[in-house]
Amino acid sequence: MKVPHGVTLVVGLGISGLAIARFLSQRGVPFMLADTRSSPPGVTAFQTEFPDVPLYCGPLTELEVGEAEEIVLSPGVDPGTPGLEGMMRHDSPDGRGPRVVGEITLFVRACQAPIAAVTGSNAKSTVTTLLGEMALSSGRRVAVGGNLGTPALELLREQPDADLFVLELSSFQLETTQWLGAESVAFLNLCEDHLDRHGDLARYAAAKQAIFQGARHAVVNAEDDRTWPVSQPPTLDRFTSQHPVSGEWGVGKLADGTWLMHGDVALMRTADMALRGRHNQLNALAALAMGTRLGLSLDAMRDTLTRFPGLPHRGEWVAESGGVSWINDSKGTNVGATLAAINGLGPTLDGKLVLLAGGVGKGADFSPLGLPLAEYARQVILFGQDAEALEAALVKHVAVRRVENLEQAMAHARETAEPGDCVLLSPACASLDQFADYRERGDAFRRWVLSNAGGAPCFGH
């Protein structure tokens, strides 16, 4: 099959593919859609909405794309897919052939308002949502989405009068983005993830570096130089878990407790935050640094931090019973996320952590969890497909108990935890061996805790 001359080819059906199709249709751009799957989910809905748009399902190697005006990839489509090799980011060496871009490039072309963008291996959803709430409290007409919630192109359609767009951007979206031009960006952290797509950590990091292209302000992790821009933007802010030096955003220990600080200026007591844990203090600092650049009200940002409880399945405080806290961090699907939760919560407890972990490890190295667990954990309860691999990595550092499933893990945790302890579900693994996704796993945790742990939900935290 041949893509007609001058027609834009959209590759990949799904939420983003549908958003791309609607965007092009609204602007009168002729397009067709292709998907490598023979029967992709959502194909009926697409054909109902776009009955006259050609649809090709099958290998891209059998699709002649040379006459296409442009190729737009959905984030789920690997640019190295057979039929697309060597076409991304640049026009062909001989000046012929279609340009390959992603959905965010289309968004940037059409967006007339300032953009704030957040990336990182972990916590980007929390920081994106928190910054959006801060902007809303400051009276801005803010639209929040991207990799989180509503696709960026749908935001343009649904909130055309927005005066600020706050986007979470994944490495999949950034690797097809040549120029973002954001007012403020944040690169929060980096750990091994999505290596099945990117090949190695260096390529994964390089994909995320695209967030800095054209940025006027950037926020990076002072303790992780892999988040720093290769080409420095005009203004750079750093956040740290330590007492900040001049110009830094950090966590300072003062006479009356720990404070969020900007240089020598104490901004807010960490005890007054609804979010718990040192890792969430870092998230707050990143949002404060971006919000300050965007002209948001400091009072509104502080007020937001007293009210914002976090996102479901991301360090979600579920209940407290008998002095034991239960936290749902089911979104902790990689080692870096679980490390952040352990190091963030451990120092704040009167007791110890009881960690529930396991699932599909995706070939990860679990050994970095050993030392922090030795310091902060009472016991680790393991379940799921890669429980054995986790046990092998952790047994020299911390007491380990293996069970069959999450329900057994929670029941054992109830018997093990002591007053002052925290039972933390942060599996360091994907969930697909026993659950549909991390949400279903987290929902199961929440339901069991509220039914069996004997505590009340802590909605005020």
Residue 444 and residue 328 share a domain: yes
- Listing DSSP states for 144-157 in one string gives EEESSSS-HHHHHH
pLDDT digits (tens, 9 = 90+) for 266-291: 999 999 999 989 999 999 999 999 99
Residue 303 and residue 364 share a domain: no
**What six digits make up the tokens of 387?**
């429980």
Residue 262 and residue 141 share a domain: yes
**Rounded CA gap, 354 and 352, in Å?**
7
Residue 181 and residue 151 share a domain: yes
Residue 139 and residue 13 share a domain: no
The domain total for the chain is 3
Residue 265 and residue 342 share a domain: no
Residue 74 maps to a domain? yes
Residue 58 maps to a domain? yes
Tell me, what CATH number does 129's domain have? 3.40.1190.10
Average pLDDT taken over every residue of the chain: 92
Which residue range is the domain that position 120 belongs to?
Answer: 111-307
pLDDT digits (tens, 9 = 90+) for 63-78: 999 899 999 999 989 9
pTM of the full structure: 0.85
Give the residue-averaged pLDDT of 3-16: 94
Residue 177 and residue 84 share a domain: no
**Rounded CA gap, 458 and 340, in Å?**
22
Instruction: Please name the residues in contact with 255: beta carbons below 8 A apart, sequence gap of 6 or more.
Output: none
pLDDT at 459 over 50: no
In contact, 69 and 8? CB cutoff 8 Å: yes
Give the pLDDT confidence score for residue 197 in this predicted structure: 63
pLDDT at 338 over 60: yes
Tell me, what CATH number does 373's domain have? 3.90.190.20
Of 254, 281, 307, the last residue of a domain is: 307
Residue 259 and residue 209 share a domain: yes
In contact, 408 and 432? CB cutoff 8 Å: no
**What six digits make up the tokens of 251?**
């966590």
Q: Give the DSSP H or E segment for 456.
A: strand 456-457
As annotated, the active-site residues are: 124, 147, 194
pLDDT digits (tens, 9 = 90+) for 144-188: 999 999 999 999 999 999 999 999 999 999 999 999 999 999 999
**Rounded CA gap, 285 and 297, in Å?**
15
Residue 282 maps to a domain? yes
Residue 2 maps to a domain? no
Of 265, 285, 307, the last residue of a domain is: 307
Residue 292 and residue 343 share a domain: no
Of 256, 287, 307, the last residue of a domain is: 307
Q: What is the residue whose two structure tokens read 């279609």?
A: 98
Give the pLDDT confidence score for residue 194 in this predicted structure: 59
Residue 217 and residue 117 share a domain: yes
- Listing DSSP states for 350-410 in one string gives SS-EEEEEESB-TT---GGGHHHHHHHEEEEEEESTTHHHHHHHHTTTS-EEE-SSHHHHH
Residue 3 maps to a domain? no
Residue 126 and residue 96 share a domain: no
Residue 335 maps to a domain? yes
pLDDT band per the 50, 70, 90 thresholds, residue 456? very low
Residue 296 maps to a domain? yes
Burial class (CB in 10 A: 0-12, 13-18, 19+), 264: exposed
Tell me, what CATH number does 91's domain have? 3.40.50.720
Residue 78 and residue 23 share a domain: yes
pLDDT digits (tens, 9 = 90+) for 287-301: 999 999 999 999 999
Residue 379 maps to a domain? yes
**Amino acid code (one letter) for 128:** T
